[in-house]
A and B are shown apart, each in its own frame.
Chain A
Amino acid sequence: MFRLLSKKMRRWRPSSSDNQTQAKQNGSPKYLSQNLEGNLQILREALGQSSDVIIRDMKINSNSKADAAVIYIDGLVDRNLVNHDILQPLMFNLQVIKDNVKERHSSLIDYIKSSVLTVGQISDTKDIDTVISGVLLGNTAVLAEGVTQALLIDTKGWETRNIEEPSNEVSIRGPKDSFTETLRTNTALLRRRIRDPRLTFQSLQIGERSKTDVAVAYIKGITPDNLISEINQRLERIDTDAILDIGYIEQFIEDSPLSLFPTVGITQRPDVVAAKILEGRAAILVDGSPMALTMPFLFMEGFQNQEDYYARPFFSSSIRWLRLLGFILSIYLPGTFVSLTAFHPELFPTQLLVSVAAAREGIPFPVAVEALLMLSLFEILREAGLRMPRSLGPAVSIVGALVIGQAAVSAGLVGAPMVIVVATTAIASFLVVPYADAGALLRFIMTVVAGFLGLFGMVIIQLEILSNMAALRSLGVPYLSPVSPLNLCGLKDTFLRAPLWAMDSRPEFLDSPDKRRQSPGQMPRVPQTKPNKREGQ
């Protein structure tokens, strides 16, 4: 029976032959010819006759035929740049160009490239594919009659979102800028924070059709080299149609595709990325996505928040513990409540038991079903709240509160203690953002298992999950570091947040070649000054 199933599955899998190579074999020329019109024709066809492809021909030599053309895609280019710095120099200085070309015996293209166009980035190519992809990226191509080279000028200037406050990771004390969808802006945000010349961005293009720019950011000398080469290897292995979002990259290169927990960190904030790079990690930025990946990512990082470092240590440490507590609550509370109610009522203090028992009189469902019902309802509400058009937001929250809170209890569908349990769980689950999804799944699993086997089942499943987590590695670093394997230095930043002046070296488990972060012994002390002569009297 299984063989039949797997054979059928095999038939559905598409053949891995490359679609692209077939297109290339259609016999289109690879290089530009000297005939401008011919070139333009090829380019027009290749670019698909779209209305946003602008081909602007000009006359440089005053003949009847056009002898130069500028190709760009409207919407991708900065029109001012094209008009003032490309078209204007070309069209206003016709005579000068002509004379100079004749005088200096240099080719038209070379002269234009070196002395006419007042633009920053410019390159030339003979290859048609390069021209096409260049234009699609937002460059402007300049072609001329009789010349087999084309110039590609970087004129990227599309509409982009302003740098706004991060929507998902709010900060009170810290900076309030977040990444946008443009790679250049993001790299700039990082550069502004790390002005070290050794901050390196390695660029790749991934995605057959999307040709998305992907940049790997790291500090040479701090990030271990084998980390970078491993990341590069994984990125180069990706062979897909398009990278639409950084999530695609995450799913292709992560260490734990089948595990509940992420082994790659995602963040929206440049200060977070900068801090992580400075500790010895590497970051991946993708054009088109306002998020960045950081690798390696360990379990304990989910409990770290950038706010912890901007506030003072005692408060931050307490908040860390609160987060840990919230995380534990959000996973175990419904399951524990279910197992106590159904299997171990003796664990309730007697008065509480009486109240819970009273609440459960007349409820038609077993407590496990009731819990799962409430949890599902909560997840539905949460998802609906996310996707709902903004205008309906308030309505949903009112309806949600009314329906679930009041009416269900009055109707006798669920008990009041259950509502409290689920509400607490729900709120606690937002304390630790990276694990909100994993936590939701875990919560469900725990509740189901609790319904079947009570606390024993929960412990068994917990052991299994622990075992799973202990086996995970993120880019070679064990997932549960620094708790296990034990790394006392690393513990400074997990359950506590040691004061900044105590964190002298980078985390050991990241294996950075340059461990020293700051000079030791910088705890602020009251300076010993000579007593003021006037005070004693």
Chain B
Amino acid sequence: MKREKRIKIYVAILLTIMPGFLSGCWDSHELNTLSIVSGLGWDIDQDTGEVTLTYQSIIPSEIESSSSSNEGGGQKGGNPLRAIQLDQDTGASPYEVLSRYAQHASRIPFYEHTQVYIFGKDGVQRGIYPFLDTQARNPVSRPNALMVVSAEKTASDILGVQDGMENIQAFGMAAEIKLSATFSKFPAVTVLQFQNRLLSKTTAPIAPMVGIFEQTGREGKKTQKIRVVGTAVFKGDRMIGELNERESSGLLWAINEIKIGFVTIPEANLEIVKAKSKIVPELQGDQVKITIEIDQESNLVQYNGHQGITADLVQELEKGQAKEIESQVRAAVEKSFDLEADVFGFGDAVHRKYKKEWKELKPRWDDIYPCIEVVIKAKTHINEIGEINQALIKD
């Protein structure tokens, strides 16, 4: 009897669990029911606040590499210009649009591979808070996605540009932004970084700006390309201004995000090997003084003059470099003072060093900020001067 009872219990458990299995797997999505979204574009109407969402999704069959499609007939080959498709949808709030798409599209959007979030210029000036909250609250996609502002009017403009070299345009754009950050031109900002800047009540969020360039190729054929053109500066969730190329570089110098790149001075071109910077705050009574210390090493890659390379000349070049760097940073600082936006994170630096005083300073930071005394000290060192030590044309 005991054994029978046990059998009864086991079968009862089995019968209880089985319907769970038999009724289908709730979370399983066949790959061909998913549409992989590579980039999202958000446009918010200035007046009504309506959200327009542009999806760029990947069509896998068009990406097929040439080798496997040989038997299926030549038609199956990948056509790079058709590897992505754009869809648009409009609604009153971001989440509404996100779910609306899911209702009348043939496939469920899959955001885990989204690499880029683009915001139209208009929307950004109105404030992107609804989007930010949706993104943080819902586990929709990764914190590594890049935040980008469109220099054109809308985000969909950018998403529609087919670059030709990259199959999937959003990935190409992401790669380009990351490359420009590596080359120390413009920052690449992930969602996480943006959120952190937002959370710190004094630091201003930034995001790179992307615009369309027209290029005339062979036979006068015009092709459009995407380029990173500036850095957008936010206050809270609204964009209040932008930094141009020089100012963006200066910003990167100050916040220790210089990786590789070039410094161009009238006499020479120098390639950056290593660069480090530190923001050192100092509190003198009520006056905040910030010293930006920059340490840089570089190689001489092009010399415009006709002299031989001597130690003195090298020193001069170093000084010239330091001046150039300092002026870039100064340009960025001035612009940020203009915009009254602490893009450098000076507030956080003061907080870290002066715990107690910060409590008092924080609420007044907006007023204090433009009055900060900023001292920029750049130290450069030229490592290598290249293969030749004399000029080709001597004076």
A224 within 8 A of B: no
B360 within 8 A of A: no
For A363, what are the chain B residues with a Cβ–Cβ distance below 8 Å?
32
Q: Which of B370-393 contact A (CB under 8 A)?
A: none
Q: Which of A449-478 contact B (CB under 8 A)?
A: 451-454
B25 within 8 A of A: yes
For B164, what are the chain A residues with a Cβ–Cβ distance below 8 Å?
none
Instruction: Let me know if A360 and B32 touch, CB within 8 A.
Output: yes
A3 within 8 A of B: yes
Chain B min CB distance to A454 (Å): 7
Chain B min CB distance to A468 (Å): 15
Q: Which of A85-112 contact B (CB under 8 A)?
A: none
Q: Which of A2, A357, A368, A416 contacts B32 (CB under 8 A)?
A: A357
Instruction: Let me know if B4 and A3 touch, CB within 8 A.
Output: yes
Give per-residue flags for A490-514: 1 if the beta carbon is below 8 A from chain B beta carbons, else 0. 0000000000000000000000000
Instruction: Let me know if B63 and A358 touch, CB within 8 A.
Output: yes
For B61, what are the chain A residues with a Cβ–Cβ distance below 8 Å?
358, 361
Instruction: Let me know if A358 and B27 touch, CB within 8 A.
Output: no
Give A357 to B60 CA distance when docked, in angstroms: 6
Instruction: Let me know if B34 and A6 touch, CB within 8 A.
Output: no
For A6, what are the chain B residues with a Cβ–Cβ distance below 8 Å?
4
B171 within 8 A of A: yes
Instruction: Let me know if A342 and B25 touch, CB within 8 A.
Output: yes
B7 within 8 A of A: yes
B358 within 8 A of A: no
Q: Which of B8, B72, B110 contacts A345 (CB under 8 A)?
A: B110
Chain A min CB distance to B143 (Å): 13
Instruction: Let me know if A361 and B28 touch, CB within 8 A.
Output: no
Give A355 to B11 CA distance when docked, in angstroms: 43
Q: Which of A321-362 contact B (CB under 8 A)?
A: 341-343, 345-346, 350, 353-358, 360-362
Q: What is the interface size of chain A, counting residues whose CB is below 8 A from a CB of the partner?
A: 28
Chain B min CB distance to A416 (Å): 7
For A393, what are the chain B residues with a Cβ–Cβ distance below 8 Å?
none
Instruction: Let me know if B113 and A355 touch, CB within 8 A.
Output: no
Given A346-B112, A346-B113, A350-B171, residue A454 in contact with residue B28 (CB < 8 A):
yes
B31 within 8 A of A: yes
Q: Which of A1-42 contact B (CB under 8 A)?
A: 2-3, 6
For B68, what are the chain A residues with a Cβ–Cβ distance below 8 Å?
416
Give A356 to B31 CA distance when docked, in angstroms: 8
For A350, what are the chain B residues with a Cβ–Cβ distance below 8 Å?
36, 113, 171
A73 within 8 A of B: no
For B36, what are the chain A residues with a Cβ–Cβ distance below 8 Å?
345, 350, 353-354, 357
Q: Which of A3, A345, A368 contacts B31 (CB under 8 A)?
A: A345
Give A413 to B171 CA distance when docked, in angstroms: 32
Q: Which of B28, B30, B60, B71 contacts A358 (CB under 8 A)?
A: B60
Chain B min CB distance to A124 (Å): 52
For B271, what are the chain A residues with a Cβ–Cβ distance below 8 Å?
none
Give A532 to B31 CA distance when docked, in angstroms: 75
For B157, what are the chain A residues with a Cβ–Cβ distance below 8 Å?
none
Give per-residue flags for B289-333: 1 if the beta carbon is below 8 A from chain A beta carbons, else 0. 000000000000000000000000000000000000000000000
Chain A interface, DSSP helix/strand/loop, else mixed: helix
For B113, what are the chain A residues with a Cβ–Cβ distance below 8 Å?
345-346, 350, 353
Chain A min CB distance to B299 (Å): 35
Instruction: Let me know if B25 and A360 touch, CB within 8 A.
Output: no
Give A453 to B21 CA distance when docked, in angstroms: 8
Chain B min CB distance to A375 (Å): 18
A367 within 8 A of B: yes
Q: Which of A2, A342, A355 contacts B30 (CB under 8 A)?
A: A342
A366 within 8 A of B: yes
Instruction: Let me know if B28 and A354 touch, CB within 8 A.
Output: no
Instruction: Let me know if B8 and A357 touch, CB within 8 A.
Output: no
Given A354-B36, A358-B61, A358-B64, residue A2 in contact with residue B31 (CB < 8 A):
no
Q: Which of B27, B32, B71, B72 contacts A343 (CB under 8 A)?
A: B27
For B71, what are the chain A residues with a Cβ–Cβ distance below 8 Å?
410
Instruction: Let me know if A345 and B27 touch, CB within 8 A.
Output: no
Q: Which of B27, B58, B72 contacts A354 (CB under 8 A)?
A: B58
Give A355 to B66 CA distance when docked, in angstroms: 12
Instruction: Let me know if A361 and B30 touch, CB within 8 A.
Output: no
For B27, what are the chain A residues with a Cβ–Cβ distance below 8 Å?
343, 454
Give A2 to B2 CA distance when docked, in angstroms: 12
Given A346-B112, A350-B113, residue A355 in contact with residue B60 (CB < 8 A):
yes
For A354, what are the chain B residues with a Cβ–Cβ distance below 8 Å?
36, 58, 60, 63
Give A437 to B27 CA distance when docked, in angstroms: 31
Give per-residue flags for B52-63: 1 if the beta carbon is below 8 A from chain A beta carbons, else 0. 000000101101
Q: Which of B336-351 contact A (CB under 8 A)?
A: none
Give A416 to B71 CA distance when docked, in angstroms: 13
Give A13 to B32 CA distance when docked, in angstroms: 53
Residue of A nearest to B65 (CB): A355
For B110, what are the chain A residues with a Cβ–Cβ distance below 8 Å?
345-346
For A451, what are the chain B residues with a Cβ–Cβ distance below 8 Å?
25, 28
Residue of B nearest to A363 (CB): B32
Chain A min CB distance to B99 (Å): 20
For A356, what are the chain B residues with a Cβ–Cβ distance below 8 Å?
31
Instruction: Let me know if A2 and B8 touch, CB within 8 A.
Output: yes
Give A362 to B64 CA distance when docked, in angstroms: 14
Give A439 to B41 CA distance when docked, in angstroms: 48
Chain A min CB distance to B354 (Å): 43
Give per-residue flags for B19-31: 1 if the beta carbon is below 8 A from chain A beta carbons, else 0. 0010001011111
For B28, what are the chain A residues with a Cβ–Cβ distance below 8 Å?
342-343, 366, 368, 451-452, 454
Instruction: Let me know if A342 and B29 touch, CB within 8 A.
Output: yes
For A367, what are the chain B residues with a Cβ–Cβ distance below 8 Å?
30-31
Q: Of residues B25, B36, B112, which shows the largest number of chain A Cβ atoms within 10 Å of its Cβ?
A: B25
For A353, what are the chain B residues with a Cβ–Cβ distance below 8 Å?
31, 36, 113
Q: Which of B30-44 contact A (CB under 8 A)?
A: 30-32, 34, 36
Give A345 to B32 CA distance when docked, in angstroms: 11
Instruction: Let me know if B63 and A355 touch, CB within 8 A.
Output: yes
Q: Of residues A343, A350, A416, A451, which shows the largest number of chain B Cβ atoms within 10 Å of its Cβ?
A: A350
Give A360 to B29 CA distance when docked, in angstroms: 12
Residue of A nearest to B141 (CB): A346
For B21, what are the chain A residues with a Cβ–Cβ distance below 8 Å?
452
For B60, what are the chain A residues with a Cβ–Cβ distance below 8 Å?
354-355, 357-358, 361
Chain A min CB distance to B23 (Å): 10
Q: List 25 A-B contacts (CB under 8 A).
A: A2-B8, A6-B4, A341-B31, A342-B29, A343-B27, A343-B28, A345-B31, A350-B113, A350-B171, A353-B31, A354-B58, A354-B63, A355-B60, A355-B63, A355-B65, A356-B31, A357-B36, A361-B61, A362-B32, A366-B28, A367-B30, A368-B28, A451-B28, A452-B21, A453-B25
Additional A-B contacts beyond A357-B60, A358-B63 (20; CB < 8 A): A2-B11, A3-B4, A6-B4, A342-B25, A342-B30, A342-B31, A346-B113, A354-B58, A355-B64, A355-B65, A358-B61, A360-B31, A360-B32, A366-B30, A368-B28, A410-B71, A451-B25, A452-B25, A453-B25, A454-B25
Interface residues of B (CB under 8 A from A): 4, 7-8, 11, 21, 25, 27-32, 34, 36, 58, 60-61, 63-65, 68, 71-72, 110, 112-113, 171
A-B CB proximity, top 10 nearest? A346-B112, A358-B60, A357-B60, A342-B28, A357-B31, A360-B31, A354-B60, A350-B113, A354-B63, A358-B61
